[in-house]
Structure 1
Amino acid sequence: MHDQRLKDIIPFVASVECGSFTAAAQRLHVTGSAISKSVSRLEARLGSRLLERTTRSLRLTDAGTAYYQTCIRIMEELAEAESVLAAQRTIPSGRLRLAMPNTYGRLNVMPLLIPFCQQYPELELSLSFSDRFVDLFDEGIDVAIRIGEVHDLPESLGFRYIGRERMVFCASPDYLNQQGRPQNESELLQHRAILYERVDGSPKPWLFINEEGYPIWRTLPHRMALGDVDAQVQAVCAGLGVAQMPSWLIRRALDNGDLDVILPDLQPDGLMLTLVWPRRKQLLPKVDALLGTLAGLDIR
């Protein structure tokens, strides 16, 4: 296979994945004209039309679909071959990209990453703090930490379950001294609630477990709903009401005495914490070392 074939495959695959020549050009840091010429050159050499062009989008032809699948397989095999060769190096080095939820990353992941960086000075870490869903392949992520349910992961992804959150009812000592400490679920529901506001603007209800062991979500009147968990913690610590939050989020406030746990027997499991990574990168020493470090994460 001569060089030009490989050169034309990359713009073609990028055009399909990005949906346009313009977006593919931005990804590859070239002009849209260069992308268009490369795909046209590829079609001319193959004698088949691979893409149907419109003013707004690109669509694969039947021949294009078959060729695209072949290109992807070739690129994956090349990446795997490079991973095996790179794995022969025993010292983790090079750029390592980690994506993680914003608050959880700051509170729980960074304390592990600081000694990790000190241990491996040849690594260049790129850390993304965001609560949005991250596509590992599109964004070149080596490892991602996800809080939430994970279903039907593709075979191209490796994963490791860390555990589930423990949801805790809490309030400040001053609030409990003034309003009284609830002794049961019924009394708890009479207190002023500080809720988390979801992206769609709706307040997140409280989670309970019924006698049969099934989860029950209770929507209740509330004094305040905040779309930021740090602000929610501040409001509860200030004595504005009662909240249900994951224990990892309020661990420092509990240790400092700024918050007290209410009804410790009512602590249902919340969301799952999972590590995910492109399976083909698992042999890389840098990824293996990071996964070993992140195995020490605590979600409870």
Structure 2
Amino acid sequence: MRDQRLKDIVPFVVSVESGSFTAAAERLYLTSSAVSKSIARLEERLGARLLERTTRTLQLTDAGNAYYQTCLRIMQELAEAEAILTAQRTIPSGRLRLAVPNTYGRLGVMPLLIPFCQQHPEIELSVTFSDRFIDLFDEGIDVAVRIGGPTDLPASLGSRQMGRERMVFCATPDYLDRAGRPTSENELLQHRAILYERTDGSTKPWLFTTADGHPHWRSVPYCMALGDVDAQVQALCGGLGVAQMPSWLIREPLSREALEIILPEQQPEGLMLSLVWPRRKQLLPKVDSLLAALGELTIR
């Protein structure tokens, strides 16, 4: 019975695609009668009419359309399974699509992609830089690097958590020399705040940690609200005030002492960094090699 199910799927799908039993028979090197009998046998077993026959064309019924979509998915998954097994015998090659956040992609991901591409010259890498949520299946993405986003992923997606952001308060030494170095949360709130402005026009509050380790958010007045994190860094380095930033974003100005961390005891965890990919692709050498390379990502 199982063999017959698979055997009848192909004539059905090809008949729908071809528009007639005759055209399907030519593609399958069968007789029109054999194709017609295969469809009739399928309808009898399912107890539903799949196709409306006319003298010229075939039309899917509602039940037929639903079954056709299922058959397409089965055939696609079989083809992908065969491609994966074949690909395991080859070196990583072919087009590979990666999606990364704008700024983190540039600062955190690109340094790993350069040696990856040098090591795998047969891979054609296409990288999408975007802070919007990207649907991997709709946009044909092989691997995505995400900061934040949903954690309850469907079973069709694989994921690997790479750690959480470390949030720090900072300003330039020159600003702190002028305005004073705060030693408490309340003193910090008296300073000129440079906040991140969300797309809806609201500002992101500051995140603090209580003495017993619990996070709490505080809305603060600001001297400037910017809808771009790179612009926030520029305003900070220009000595315009104080901001709370993920440490990965200000690693370079911190290393050259252009910025100074304030209240070092206040470094709460921020968003999660994760890798996400379609499970059906994870055995492809090109995807597996990219996941291995991105395993070196850090966000602290």
Normalising by structure 1, what TM-score?
Answer: 0.80
Amino acid at match of 2:204: K
Q: Is the 8 A contact 2:101 2:145 kept in 1?
A: yes
State yes or no: 1:5 paired with 2:6. no
Amino acid at match of 1:87: Q
Aligned counterparts, 1:52-71, within 5 A: 64-71=65-72
Residue 210 of structure 1 deviates from its aligned partner by 2.1
3-state SS, counterpart of residue 254 of structure 1: helix
User: 1:292 maps to what in 2?
Assistant: 292
Aligned counterparts, 1:1-300, within 5 A: 5-6=13-14, 8=16, 43-44=51-52, 48-50=60-62, 64-89=65-90, 91-300=91-300
Query: Would the alpha carbon gap of residues 5 and 70 (structure 1) be closer, same or farther in structure 2, given more than 3 Å must change?
Result: closer
Q: Is the 8 A contact 2:196 2:226 kept in 1?
A: yes
Query: Would the alpha carbon gap of residues 179 and 136 (structure 1) be closer, same or farther in structure 2, given more than 3 Å must change?
Result: same
Query: Would the alpha carbon gap of residues 116 and 9 (structure 1) be closer, same or farther in structure 2, given more than 3 Å must change?
Result: farther
Query: For residues 73 and 153 of structure 2, what CA distance do their matches in structure 1 show?
Result: 18
Query: Would the alpha carbon gap of residues 78 and 187 (structure 1) be closer, same or farther in structure 2, given more than 3 Å must change?
Result: same
- 1:218-259 CA-partner distances (Å, limit 9, x unpaired): 101000000000000000110111000000000001012210
Residue 44 of structure 1 deviates from its aligned partner by 4.1
Unaligned segments of structure 2, at least 5 residues: 1-8, 19-49
Query: For residues 7 and 270 of structure 1, what CA distance do their matches in structure 2 show?
Result: 54
Residue 162 of structure 1 deviates from its aligned partner by 0.3
3-state SS, counterpart of residue 286 of structure 1: helix
Unaligned segments of structure 1, at least 5 residues: 11-41, 51-61
Query: For residues 232 and 127 of structure 1, what CA distance do their matches in structure 2 show?
Result: 25
Query: Would the alpha carbon gap of residues 43 and 246 (structure 1) be closer, same or farther in structure 2, given more than 3 Å must change?
Result: farther
Residue 77 of structure 1 deviates from its aligned partner by 2.8
Query: Would the alpha carbon gap of residues 9 and 140 (structure 1) be closer, same or farther in structure 2, given more than 3 Å must change?
Result: farther
Query: For residues 296 and 9 of structure 1, what CA distance do their matches in structure 2 show?
Result: 46
- 1:170-196 CA-partner distances (Å, limit 9, x unpaired): 001110000000011111111110000
Residue 199 of structure 1 deviates from its aligned partner by 1.2
Q: Is the 8 A contact 1:9 1:71 kept in 2?
A: no
Query: For residues 266 and 249 of structure 2, what CA distance do their matches in structure 1 show?
Result: 17
User: 2:36 maps to what in 1?
Assistant: none
Amino acid at match of 1:173: P
Residue 201 of structure 1 deviates from its aligned partner by 1.1
Residue 6 of structure 1 deviates from its aligned partner by 4.9
The sequence identity of aligned pairs, in percent, is 63
Cα RMSD, aligned residues only: 2.1
Residue 138 of structure 1 deviates from its aligned partner by 1.1
3-state SS, counterpart of residue 69 of structure 1: helix
Normalising by structure 2, what TM-score?
Answer: 0.80
Residue 83 of structure 1 deviates from its aligned partner by 1.4
Query: For residues 253 and 3 of structure 1, what CA distance do their matches in structure 2 show?
Result: 64
